[in-house]
């Protein structure tokens, strides 16, 4: 429900002026009435920019791998400023916050390239981005929130999850400080829409992180009243024109619908056993979410699919799998555990089907081609694929397993977490092969694991971590 604004019956501008002057250091001015402070501009010894030919390769990678899912930048405005900076040859005169965003884009773009030492170069960019920000500066803006979000995304993708958790917290607090969480009146079209997109981008990332890491969500649904972002790309939003109507969905909007119940889902997962009614409610929501995902990924569609729009599908399948995985606990009866594994295997097969359609002929879609492995290389996808592979191996569904393994092989060494997941899969396979050699056939893992878990402290649930 939207929080109602109090009615204003008279002009309080004089009151505000008095309070703002006499209450300095005592009162916090409400967000809509914050006076914009002077911009903190880069002067003196500016940070050196990477060479233009290298920067020109990083921006498309960021656009295809990050911006296509979390469009928190007005891309045409950002690239216009980017070209202006490179024409001048330095960052002199731009705001520190915008410079931090620029190097955050470079960092996130660099980890989605195959350049030699790309990760080390990306870490240099993110250190520059974080170092540019003035922690003593109280005048926050959209770019400050964007820079913190990009730092969180980068750190998560290089498997520095505790640091990523801290930076998403910073981004959310900046967003709340500048009032992104409340509808504070009419604004210019571009500014109003980008405020929504930054807020909902933070909201989505916060919940994806919370689900994956088992952390509490930072943003409460009761604490904001912001409309959803519009359905058109930011290039079609200008100050001189009305935002056009569109019947198409976007990856951001699809992701928002998937992640909205995650806070409630995490609360549901706290008890030892989940009620059938709770399962039914969440399953119904996730099925409804399929209608918000681009039509090329609908279950009944068997055509080739563009991997650039895969992310919301993975978020959805990951949420489904984590919901039902909870019921593999030894505290649950054997029938409940068996049913939970059925759901998890079904989710793994749906994931494999979506991936197979992306990998079938990845030269079909411009911008993907040989970079398909980079588009598929998100940390969330890597961990989700490893879980799917474990469930499919457990039930000896080898066709789906092969698809997941092929996707992991395609990703290669782009992500640290993939190597970690590969090590764990190798461990699982060694245990499986040892049992096959000992018994001369593929054992009934489900029956043996259920019997083993009847003894307190013994369970194979840990295999599906």
Per-residue model confidence (pLDDT) at position 203: 95
| 3-state class (DSSP) for residue 95 | strand
Per-residue model confidence (pLDDT) at position 455: 43
Query: How would you write the pLDDT of the chain (465 residues) with one tens digit per residue?
Result: 555 666 666 777 788 888 877 877 787 777 666 666 656 777 767 788 999 999 999 999 999 889 988 999 999 999 999 999 999 988 988 999 999 999 999 999 998 887 778 889 999 999 999 998 877 777 789 999 999 999 999 999 998 999 999 999 999 999 999 999 988 777 888 888 999 999 999 999 999 988 888 888 999 988 898 999 987 777 767 666 555 555 566 888 888 988 888 888 777 777 666 777 888 888 888 888 877 776 777 767 777 887 878 888 899 999 889 888 888 877 788 888 888 899 999 999 999 998 888 886 554 444 444 466 666 778 899 999 999 999 999 888 999 999 999 988 888 777 788 888 999 999 999 988 888 888 877 767 676 655 554 444 444 445 555
Per-residue model confidence (pLDDT) at position 370: 47
Q: How many CA atoms lie within 13 A of 430 on its CB side?
A: 6
State the DSSP code for 291.
G
**For helices 75-88 and 52-62, angle between their N-to-C axes, nearest 10 degrees:** 170
- The answer to whether the beta carbons of residues 133 and 178 sit under 8 Å apart is no
- The answer to whether the beta carbons of residues 105 and 56 sit under 8 Å apart is no
Question: Locate tokens 């928190």: which residue?
Answer: 72
Q: What are the structure tokens assigned to 356, written together?
A: 């197979």
Helices (H), 290-378: 311-325, 334-359, 372-375
Per-residue model confidence (pLDDT) at position 377: 75
Q: Which among 224, 344, 356, 328 has a CA at the least distance from the CA of 283?
A: 344
Per-residue model confidence (pLDDT) at position 401: 93
Helices (H), 214-275: 251-259, 262-268
What length is written for the chain? 465
Q: Which among 382, 60, 76, 90 has a CA at the least distance from the CA of 234?
A: 76
Count of C-beta atoms within a 10 Å radius of residue 26: 7
- The answer to whether the beta carbons of residues 149 and 67 sit under 8 Å apart is no
- Which CA distances in Å does 446 have to 27, 412, 459, 461? 62, 31, 11, 11
Q: What are the structure tokens assigned to 413, written together?
A: 């060494």
Q: How far apart are CA 158 and CA 308, in angstroms?
A: 20
N-term to C-term CA, the chain: 36
Q: What angle do CA 443, 444, 448 make, to 5 degrees?
A: 105
Q: How far apart are CA 401 and CA 394, in angstroms?
A: 10
Q: How far apart are CA 226 and CA 187, in angstroms?
A: 13
Q: How far apart are CA 395 and CA 447, in angstroms?
A: 11
Phi, psi of 132 (to 5 degrees): -70, -35
For 251, left (φ over 0), alpha (ψ -120 to 50), or beta? Answer: alpha
Q: How many CA atoms lie within 13 A of 460 on its CB side?
A: 19
Per-residue model confidence (pLDDT) at position 459: 44
Per-residue model confidence (pLDDT) at position 100: 95
- The answer to whether the beta carbons of residues 31 and 182 sit under 8 Å apart is yes
Specify which residues 95 forms β-bridges with. Answer: 41
Residue-by-residue DSSP string for 38-75 = PP-B--SSPPPPPPHHHHHHHHHHHIIIIITT---S-H
Q: What are the structure tokens assigned to 271, written together?
A: 């008890």
């Amino acid at each position: 429900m939207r929080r109602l604004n109090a009615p204003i019956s008279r002009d309080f501008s004089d009151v505000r002026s008095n309070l703002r002057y006499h209450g300095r250091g005592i009162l916090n001015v409400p967000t809509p009435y914050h006076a914009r402070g002077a911009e903190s501009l880069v002067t003196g010894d500016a940070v050196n920019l990477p060479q233009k030919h290298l920067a020109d390769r990083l921006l498309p990678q960021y656009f295809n791998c990050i911006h296509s899912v979390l469009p928190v930048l007005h891309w045409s405005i950002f690239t216009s400023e980017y070209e202006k900076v490179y024409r001048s040859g330095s960052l002199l005169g731009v705001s520190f916050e915008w410079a931090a965003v620029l190097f955050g884009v470079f960092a996130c773009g660099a980890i989605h390239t195959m350049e030699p030492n790309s990760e080390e170069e990306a870490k240099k960019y993110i250190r520059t981005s974080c170092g540019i920000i003035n922690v003593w500066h109280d005048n926050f803006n959209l770019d400050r929130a964007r820079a913190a979000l990009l730092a969180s995304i980068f750190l998560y993708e290089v498997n520095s999850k505790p640091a990523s958790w801290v930076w998403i917290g910073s981004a959310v607090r900046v967003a709340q400080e500048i009032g992104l969480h409340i509808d504070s009146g009419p604004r210019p079209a571009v500014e109003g829409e980008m405020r929504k997109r930054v807020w909902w981008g933070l909201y989505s990332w916060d919940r994806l992180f919370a689900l994956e890491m088992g952390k509490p969500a930072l943003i409460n649904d009761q604490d904001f009243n912001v409309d959803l972002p519009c359905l058109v790309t930011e290039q079609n939003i200008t100050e001189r024109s009305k935002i056009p109507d569109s019947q198409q969905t976007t990856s951001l909007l699809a992701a928002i619908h998937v992640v909205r119940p995650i806070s409630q889902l995490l609360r549901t997962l706290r008890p030892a056993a989940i009620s059938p009614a709770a399962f039914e409610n969440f399953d119904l929501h996730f099925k409804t979410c399929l209608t918000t995902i681009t039509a090329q990924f609908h279950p009944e569609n068997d055509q080739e699919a563009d991997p650039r729009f895969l992310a919301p599908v993975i978020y959805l399948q990951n949420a489904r799998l984590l919901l039902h995985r909870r019921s593999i606990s030894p505290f649950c009866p054997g029938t409940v555990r068996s049913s939970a594994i059925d759901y998890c295997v079904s989710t793994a097969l749906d994931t494999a089907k979506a991936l197979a359609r992306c990998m079938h002929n990845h030269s079909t879609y411009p911008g993907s081609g040989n970079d398909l492995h980079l588009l598929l290389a998100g940390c969330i996808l890597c961990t989700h694929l490893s879980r799917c592979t474990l469930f499919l191996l457990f039930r000896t569904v080898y066709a789906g397993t092969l698809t997941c393994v092929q996707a992991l092989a395609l990703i290669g060494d782009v992500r640290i977490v993939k190597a970690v997941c590969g090590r764990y899969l190798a461990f699982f396979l060694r245990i499986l092969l040892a049992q096959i050699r000992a018994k001369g056939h593929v054992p009934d893992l489900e029956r043996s694991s259920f019997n083993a878990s009847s003894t307190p402290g013994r369970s194979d649930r840990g295999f599906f971590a």
